[in-house]
Each structure stands twice: as structure tokens, then as C-alpha cells.
């Protein structure tokens, strides 16, 4: 038997059982070893029979007077009497006729089970019993509880694990000795033994500490290795020109916030080096990241280099192109901006391509197709990525091949991520935050409403429309659904509003099933104020900037996640007018903690901490596909663990440890290096 032997090779695992194991994702012995318990039930303490109370107990007793019978068809009962020095108790098993034959009289057994009333008599029900002296499996110990499937329960999993204990005990160490020592960890084999076979409660802690450390260590080490790989590449040095920056700022219709300035300063410092920048800019919706991006690009433009800005959708790309065009106009640099999106005619695409190639088009804005298509951007000095994408090792390689060097990379996200998560999920990047909102911004007023105040909410919306503003109405579904009764769909709400309350207004409909062209033109109509109300699904979520829209009604708000509600709400509150967000509940029930949180604050960072608390890391928007979330033991909320693991990973690199020496670690790190979601 080897670690990579199929599970069927283990004693006691036949074809049938092995297919059940497969259902749980366990194919090899190694899979089973790393199939960690979900929780434990402590049956390790032995209770005197005289002291038995209702509940779960273990007794140490002899078993006599065993008898089995059918009480009715299909119902077999085995009864017995267990006795120790203090007294005796009844045992009862249902439909386990083999019990009677298996029990040897006058031997001591460890008997674990539920002591309770049945047929007016107290008895231990369906207890497990094992001869005292053997290594116990299902009795008289701390019992691990595993995720189960039909026909494969924890007691069977425990039996199979018992048969592979020799293999567990000979598991090789995966971490360097100095790491184990300095972090006071137990060995890997001991940890794996104890996670399945703890003697004491503190064994579980020790095992989890070791295995959890290893998980986070791998994660942070991979991040630091990417960081190191990145720093060995050469980028173009971009000189900072103070006068140019001042000139640009002088033409802005507003004052930059302190956070914007601080972030820009870090970016400019990075760009002056030939080590490629890899910076994450986290700024809540509406915090003004576009200006920062434009200013980051400014110095490259001056020097004759190229910059690519990638947006997740064509609508956003166009909007960015317009914004940036007008931001650069006062400096006479607007002609250097160009758009490259899939939808362009092949003729204008060809023109763009040749302008990019000649270097006349310096600031190229598009979707990520921009770096995938055969575009010749030789002087690419900086890539700016807007929203939710990140660069993996593969993309980096492609870019280096294309440009001949590694460009500086600025990734921007409107997803506020709790700090502990930033270090693990984005550990390979330097992080800048914009926490302040622009000064002129009035906080959005958010109100939870119930369906019986619907008309009053509509009236408030109409007041805003009369003042020349626009409104979003967001629904959880496109079409009404049989299954999801009570949820309002965009199609139905659209018709209802258009023919009813809002018949004097121009109502539009936007959802994900529409063709890309149709979506763009509807969105464009809304931007151009040809529509007053836009009924939509969550497709409007990302990035769209319509400062004149200052009202949002979210239908079935209780059905959305906290992060999503915050993202949606970020579509308003972008102009000088006071904005309102109405959270319409499905029923008139008391509002959930989530809704009250969103009503109570506009601070995305606070909300993300809360979301992490309520729903765990999987809830953090945009992190779902990240391999980092597959952790089975460690908690990404464990700030202390993350800090220690990261420090250790730093030491590992500083000591110039050779990863090849640690094959398990190397393969884990390799897996994580491939993690990317730019596709």
C-alpha cells in the first residue's frame, strides 16, 4: 500500500464501499488521510453505570443476557445487560441481529451511546461496543465526525482509517525543521494521526495548529514567490514630471482627496523603478479611481510609452475612454487615447491596430481581449486593470513575450476586502487603499421598506424624476419563476411600472439575456438621459457611472448578499444631488441583520468585515474562484496565523531555501501559482 494507492486497496474496502468513498471525493489513501473531521464528539470519559444520566456516555462493563427477537415484521431488537461494579444498565440495538453472536460474555467492553428512555425503560440505544484493550475505533474515545454520504457513515470511515494508521505514522515531513521548531509545531505524521485519533482535546488543537499553519504558509509563500519572480523582471522606468502632474490637477473641476494623492505618490515612486510595479488599488465605489488611473498613465504618455487600460465590459471601456479623453483634453493629450473593443468594424479595428503598432495610440482602452488579440504594443509600459480581474503567472508570461518586458501593473478593485484576506488573496501585490470619499459627496440615504409602503416609495421616486433625476430599479430575476415565488422579475416589474405608476415616464429594461448590442444601446440611452427609469437585474453592478441617477429601488433586497447590495448601491451617490436607496423587503417581516447593516453604513470596509463575520470568506465578492478559499483547516479570518505564516514565508525566501528540496511544498506552491481568474 502506498499513499497514491486506490482506496480499494485498504483492508475492508470492497468495490461498493470504495465507490461510496469516491462520492466523497476520496479516491486514494492520501485523499483519505487529508479527509479531515468536521467536528468531534467526546466519548473518552468513562461513566459509572450508577451515575448514568440521559445523554451520551461511555461505560466500561461486561455484557450478559444477550437476546434477540423480532418484535414485528422488519423490526428486530437485541437486548442485553451491561454491568460494572456500580450497577447494571440495559443495552438495546435495533435491526442489528448480528450483535447477539458477536458479544463474548464476561469480557470488559467499552460501550458508547445514547442513554435514554425507550419503551418506558432506560437503555443505552444502538451503542457501539468494543473489547477493552484493543485500540478503540468507535467507542470510548474522542470520536471524529466526518462528512458522510448515504451508506458511508463516520463509524465506517473510522474503521478504514484505523487500517491505514501505519501509513499515517510514516508520513514524511513536508516543512523544514527550523520552521517546525520556531513555530512550535508538531510533526506532520503526528498531526495527521492526531487529527483522526486524538487522545485529548488539546491533541486536536495541536493537530489543527500544525496543518492550518501549513496551509496558510503555502498560500503566503506562493504569493511571495510570485512577488519575487516579478521583481526579477525588468520594466520600463517612467520618470515623474511634477509640472505635468500640477498641470493636470490644475485643470480638474475638483480637489484630489488626500487618499488619492497618497496613492498616486506610491504609484509614481514604483513607476520610477525598473522593477515592475504590481499594485492593487482598493477603493470603494465612487472613491475616484479613474482619475488616479489617468494620472498614473500621464507620465508614460509624456515619455512616449504606451498604457493599456482593461475594463471588464465594452460599456465600461467606452465610458472610460470618454472620461479619460475629457480629462486629458485640457493638456492637449486627448488624441493619444484610443479604443479597442471586439465589437468595432474590422476597418476601424485595423486602423486602431496600426496606430497602436506605430505608437501613435498611446493610451489604449478596451476589454482584456486587448492583451489576448494580436496587438502589437511594443512600448507597453503600464497596464491598468479595472475591476475584478487579476493576473496570473501565465498572463504575465504572455505579456512579457508580447512587449519584450514586464509592464507595470495597476489593478483596481471596488471590492473592499478585510485586511486579513488581502494578505492571503492578494499577497503578491502591494496594496493601496482609498478610504475617503470625495468631499462634495453626500452620503447615500438608505431605507428599508416593506411592500405595503410601495406607493409611498414610488411617489418619492417621482419627486426625483420631476427634478430631472433618474432612477434604477433592481430585481433579483429576469423572468418570473415558478420555483422562486414571491421574487419580482425585471420583465414583470418593467411592464407593471410602464403601464401603471410610471406611465408618464420613459422606462427601460436591461438584463443579462439581452444581446450585447441591445444592452449597450439601452445603457447608452440611460447615460444620455433618454430614459428616466432603468429596470434591471444585477447586470448594472460593475462600474457604470451615471451621476444624474440618484435613486435606486432594490426589490427583494433581503435576497441579496451584503457585498452585492453595497456594489449595487454604489451606482448612485455619484453626483452632487442627494441620493436615496430603498431596500424593498419580500414581506413585511423584521429586517435581517444584513439589511440593517447596509442601512446603517456606507462604509464598504466595515460591511466587508461584517460579511466575513456572517458568511465566511466565500462571501467576499469576487474571491469565489480563488484557490485560497479551499482551505480545509485554517481560517482566513485568523489574523494572527496569517501574520506568522507570512513572516515565516518571508524568512524562507530570505534564507534562500531551495524549494526543490521540499517536494510536497513545491507541488502545493505550483498549484497555487497557477491560480488566476483573468479569462
Q: Which three cell numbers stand for residue 55?
A: 445523554
**Out of ligand ADP, Mg ion, none, which partner does residue 440 contact, by CB within 5 to 8 A per kind?**
ligand ADP
For the bound state, the minimum distance from the C-beta of residue 516 to ligand ADP, rounded and expressed in Å, comes to 22
Q: Of the two residues 430 and 545, which places its CB atom closer to ligand ADP in the complex? A: 545
- Does residue 570 bind Mg ion (CB under 5 A)? no
Q: Counting Cβ atoms within 10 Å, is residue 99 exposed (0-12), middle (13-18) or buried (19+)?
A: buried
**Out of ligand ADP, Mg ion, none, which partner does residue 574 contact, by CB within 5 to 8 A per kind?**
ligand ADP
Q: Which three cell numbers stand for residue 94?
A: 435495533
Q: Of the two residues 249 and 629, which places its CB atom closer to ligand ADP in the complex? A: 249
Count H helices, E strands: the chain?
Answer: 24, 20
- Does residue 345 bind ligand ADP (CB under 6 A)? no
Q: Which three cell numbers stand for residue 327?
A: 480629462
For the bound state, the minimum distance from the C-beta of residue 296 to ligand ADP, rounded and expressed in Å, comes to 13
Please name which of 78, 425, 462, 410 lies closest in space to residue 270, comparing C-alpha atoms: 410
Q: Of the two residues 98 and 254, which places its CB atom closer to ligand ADP in the complex? A: 254
**How far is 634 from 340, CA to CA, in rounded Å?**
43
Tell which positions 531-550 bind Mg ion, by CB under 5 A: 543
Q: Which three cell numbers stand for residue 51?
A: 451515575
Please name which of 144, 126, 120, 169 lies closest in space to residue 43, comparing C-alpha atoms: 144
Q: Which residue is nearest to Mg ion (CB)?
A: 543
Q: Which three cell numbers stand for residue 412?
A: 483596481
Tell which positions 411-450 bind ligand ADP, by CB under 6 A: 414, 438, 440
Sign for the CA dihedral angle at 654, 656, 659, 661 comes to negative
Pairing state between β 75-84 and 55-72: antiparallel
For the bound state, the minimum distance from the C-beta of residue 164 to ligand ADP, rounded and expressed in Å, comes to 53
Report H helices in 34-129. Answer: 99-102
For the bound state, the minimum distance from the C-beta of residue 293 to ligand ADP, rounded and expressed in Å, comes to 8
- Does residue 283 bind Mg ion (CB under 5 A)? no
**How far is 69 from 51, CA to CA, in rounded Å?**
29
**What is the residue whose three cell numbers read 467606452?**
318
Q: Of the two residues 334 and 657, which places its CB atom closer to ligand ADP in the complex? A: 334
**How far is 472 from 493, CA to CA, in rounded Å?**
12
**Out of Mg ion, ligand ADP, none, which partner does residue 274 contact, by CB within 5 to 8 A per kind?**
none
Q: Across the beta sheet with 306-310, what order do the strands follow?
A: 337-340, 363-366, 306-310, 380-386, 408-413, 278-283, 430-434
Q: Of the two residues 214 and 259, which places its CB atom closer to ligand ADP in the complex? A: 259
Stretch near ligand ADP under the rule CB under 6 A, chosen from 64-72, 289-297, 517-525, 619-627: 289-297
**Out of Mg ion, ligand ADP, none, which partner does residue 291 contact, by CB within 5 to 8 A per kind?**
ligand ADP
**How far is 115 from 105, CA to CA, in rounded Å?**
21
CB contact at 8 A, 554 and 584: yes
Number of residues that bind Mg ion (CB under 5 A): 1
- Does residue 254 bind ligand ADP (CB under 6 A)? yes
**Out of Mg ion, ligand ADP, none, which partner does residue 178 contact, by CB within 5 to 8 A per kind?**
none
For the bound state, the minimum distance from the C-beta of residue 481 to Mg ion, rounded and expressed in Å, comes to 32
Stretch near ligand ADP under the rule CB under 6 A, chosen from 104-112, 137-145, 250-258, 487-495: 250-258
How many CA atoms lie within 13 Å of 44's alpha carbon, on the beta-carbon side?
13
Buried b vs exposed e over 380-394: b needs ≥16 C-beta within 10 Å?
bbbbbbbbbbbbbbe
Q: Which residue is nearest to ligand ADP (CB)?
A: 288
Identify the bridge partners of residue 68 per DSSP, sorted by sequence position: 78
Please name which of 610, 498, 529, 597 lies closest in space to residue 557, comparing C-alpha atoms: 597
**Out of Mg ion, ligand ADP, none, which partner does residue 136 contact, by CB within 5 to 8 A per kind?**
none
For the bound state, the minimum distance from the C-beta of residue 245 to ligand ADP, rounded and expressed in Å, comes to 15
**Out of ligand ADP, Mg ion, none, which partner does residue 212 contact, by CB within 5 to 8 A per kind?**
none
Please name which of 431, 394, 393 lies closest in space to residue 410, comparing C-alpha atoms: 431
Tell which positions 264-283 bind ligand ADP, by CB under 6 A: 283
Q: Of the two residues 408 and 571, which places its CB atom closer to Mg ion in the complex? A: 571
**H helix or E strand, kind and range, residue 126:** strand 121-131
Number of residues that bind ligand ADP (CB under 6 A): 19
Q: Of the two residues 276 and 283, which places its CB atom closer to ligand ADP in the complex? A: 283
Judged by CB under 6 A, the residue of 288, 407, 427, 573 near ligand ADP is 288
**How far is 595 from 417, CA to CA, in rounded Å?**
19
Q: Of the two residues 256 and 534, which places its CB atom closer to ligand ADP in the complex? A: 256
What are the C-alpha distances in Å from 650 to residues 228, 392, 420? 10, 21, 17
- Distance between first and last Cα of the chain: 41
Helix (H, G, I), strand (E, B) or coil at 648: helix
Q: Of the two residues 158 and 574, which places its CB atom closer to ligand ADP in the complex? A: 574
In the 8-state DSSP scheme, what is residue 630?
A: G
- Does residue 287 bind ligand ADP (CB under 6 A)? yes
- Does residue 573 bind Mg ion (CB under 5 A)? no
CB contact at 8 A, 70 and 37: no
In the 8-state DSSP scheme, what is residue 187?
A: P
Tell which positions 570-599 bind ligand ADP, by CB under 6 A: 574
For the bound state, the minimum distance from the C-beta of residue 415 to Mg ion, rounded and expressed in Å, comes to 12
For the bound state, the minimum distance from the C-beta of residue 230 to Mg ion, rounded and expressed in Å, comes to 25
Judged by CB under 6 A, the residue of 291, 309, 311, 675 near ligand ADP is 291
Q: Counting Cβ atoms within 10 Å, is residue 639 exposed (0-12), middle (13-18) or buried (19+)?
A: middle
Judged by CB under 6 A, the residue of 286, 338, 427, 604 near ligand ADP is 286
Q: Of the two residues 144 and 283, which places its CB atom closer to ligand ADP in the complex? A: 283
For the bound state, the minimum distance from the C-beta of residue 542 to Mg ion, rounded and expressed in Å, comes to 8
**Out of ligand ADP, Mg ion, none, which partner does residue 287 contact, by CB within 5 to 8 A per kind?**
ligand ADP
For the bound state, the minimum distance from the C-beta of residue 157 to Mg ion, rounded and expressed in Å, comes to 49
For the bound state, the minimum distance from the C-beta of residue 433 to ligand ADP, rounded and expressed in Å, comes to 12
How many CA atoms lie within 13 Å of 260's alpha carbon, on the beta-carbon side?
21
Q: Of the two residues 384 and 473, which places its CB atom closer to ligand ADP in the complex? A: 384
User: Site residues (CB under 6 A) for ligand ADP?
Assistant: 254-257, 260, 283, 285-291, 414, 438, 440, 545, 547, 574
Chain residues binding Mg ion by CB under 5 A are 543
Amino acid at each position: 500500500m502506498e499513499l497514491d494507492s486506490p482506496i480499494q486497496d485498504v483492508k475492508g474496502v470492497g468495490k461498493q464501499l470504495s465507490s461510496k468513498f469516491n462520492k466523497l471525493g476520496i479516491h486514494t489513501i492520501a485523499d483519505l488521510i487529508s479527509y479531515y473531521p468536521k467536528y468531534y464528539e467526546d466519548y473518552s470519559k468513562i461513566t459509572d453505570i450508577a451515575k448514568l444520566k440521559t445523554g451520551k456516555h461511555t461505560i466500561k462493563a461486561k455484557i450478559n443476557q444477550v437476546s434477540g427477537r423480532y418484535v414485528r415484521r422488519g423490526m428486530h431488537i437485541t437486548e442485553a445487560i451491561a454491568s460494572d461494579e456500580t450497577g447494571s444498565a440495559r443495552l438495546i440495538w435495533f435491526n442489528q441481529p448480528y450483535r447477539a453472536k458477536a458479544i463474548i460474555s464476561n469480557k470488559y467492553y467499552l460501550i458508547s451511546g445514547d442513554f435514554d428512555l425507550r419503551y418506558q425503560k432506560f437503555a443505552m440505544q444502538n451503542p457501539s461496543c468494543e473489547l477493552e484493550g484493543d485500540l478503540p475505533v468507535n467507542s470510548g474515545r474522542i470520536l471524529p465526525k466526518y462528512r458522510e454520504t448515504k451508506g458511508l457513515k463516520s463509524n465506517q470511515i473510522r474503521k478504514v482509517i484505523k487500517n491505514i494508521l501505519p501509513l499515517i505514522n510514516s508520513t514524511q515531513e513536508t516543512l523544514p525543521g527550523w520552521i517546525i521548531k520556531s513555530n512550535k509545531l508538531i510533526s506532520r505524521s503526528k498531526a495527521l494521526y492526531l487529527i483522526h485519533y486524538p487522545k485529548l482535546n488539546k491533541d486536536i488543537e495541536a493537530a489543527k495548529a500544525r496543518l492550518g499553519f501549513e496551509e496558510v504558509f503555502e498560500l503566503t509563500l506562493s504569493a511571495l514567490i510570485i512577488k519575487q519572480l516579478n521583481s526579477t523582471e525588468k520594466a520600463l522606468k517612467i520618470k515623474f514630471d511634477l509640472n505635468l502632474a500640477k498641470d493636470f490637477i490644475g485643470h480638474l473641476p475638483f480637489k484630489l482627496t488626500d487618499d488619492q494623492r497618497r496613492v498616486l505618490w506610491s504609484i509614481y515612486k514604483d513607476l520610477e523603478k525598473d522593477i515592475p510595479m504590481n499594485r492593487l488599488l482598493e477603493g470603494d465605489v465612487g472613491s475616484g479611481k479613474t482619475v488616479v488611473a489617468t494620472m498614473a498613465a500621464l507620465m508614460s504618455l509624456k515619455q512616449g510609452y504606451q498604457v493599456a487600460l482593461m475594463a471588464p465590459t465594452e460599456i465600461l471601456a467606452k465610458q472610460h475612454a470618454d472620461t479619460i479623453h475629457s480629462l486629458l483634453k485640457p493638456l492637449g493629450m486627448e488624441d493619444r487615447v484610443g479604443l479597442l473593443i471586439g465589437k468595432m468594424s474590422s476597418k476601424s479595428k485595423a486602423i486602431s491596430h496600426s496606430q497602436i503598432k506605430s505608437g501613435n495610440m498611446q493610451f489604449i482602452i478596451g476589454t482584456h481581449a486587448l492583451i489576448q488579440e494580436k496587438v502589437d504594443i511594443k512600448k507597453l509600459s503600464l497596464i491598468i486593470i479595472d475591476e475584478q480581474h487579476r493576473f496570473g503567472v501565465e498572463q504575465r508570461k504572455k505579456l512579457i513575450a508580447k512587449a519584450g518586458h514586464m509592464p507595470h501593473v495597476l489593478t483596481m478593485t471596488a471590492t473592499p476586502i478585510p485586511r486579513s484576506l488581502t494578505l492571503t488573496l492578494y499577497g503578491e501585490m502591494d496594496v493601496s487603499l482609498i478610504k475617503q470619499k470625495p468631499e462634495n459627496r453626500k452620503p447615500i440615504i438608505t431605507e428599508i421598506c416593506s411592500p405595503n409602503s410601495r406607493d409611498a416609495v414610488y411617489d418619492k421616486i417621482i419627486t426625483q424624476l420631476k427634478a430631472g433625476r433618474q432612477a434604477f430599479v433592481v430585481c433579483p430575476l429576469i423572468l418570473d419563476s415558478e420555483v422562486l415565488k414571491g421574487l419580482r422579475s425585471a420583465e414583470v416589474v418593467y411592464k407593471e411600472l410602464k403601464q401603471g405608476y410610471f406611465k408618464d415616464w420613459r422606462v427601460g429594461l436591461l438584463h443579462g439575456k439581452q444581446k450585447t448590442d441591445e444592452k449597450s444601446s439601452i445603457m447608452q440611452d440611460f447615460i444620455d438621459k433618454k430614459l428616466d427609469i432603468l429596470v434591471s437585474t444585477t447586470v448594472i453592478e460593475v462600474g457604470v457611472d451615471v451621476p444624474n441617477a440618484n435613486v435606486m429601488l432594490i426589490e427583494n433586497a433581503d435576497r441579496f448578499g451584503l457585498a452585492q447590495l453595497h456594489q449595487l448601491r454604489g451606482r448612485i451617490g455619484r453626483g452632487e444631488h442627494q441620493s436615496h436607496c430603498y431596500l424593498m423587503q419580500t414581506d413585511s417581516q423584521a429586517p435581517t441583520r444584513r439589511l440593517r447593516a447596509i442601512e446603517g453604513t456606507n462604509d464598504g470596509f466595515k460591511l466587508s468585515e461584517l460579511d466575513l463575520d456572517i458568511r465566511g470568506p466565500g462571501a467576499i465578492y469576487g474571491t469565489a474562484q480563488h484557490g485560497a478559499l479551499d482551505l480545509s483547516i485554517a481560517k482566513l479570518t485568523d489574523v494572527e496565523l496569517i501574520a506568522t505564516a507570512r513572516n515565516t514565508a518571508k524568512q524562507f525566501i530570505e534564507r534562500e531555501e531551495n524549494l526543490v528540496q521540499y517536494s510536497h511544498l513545491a507541488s502545493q506552491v505550483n498549484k497555487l501559482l497557477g491560480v488566476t481568474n483573468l479569462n
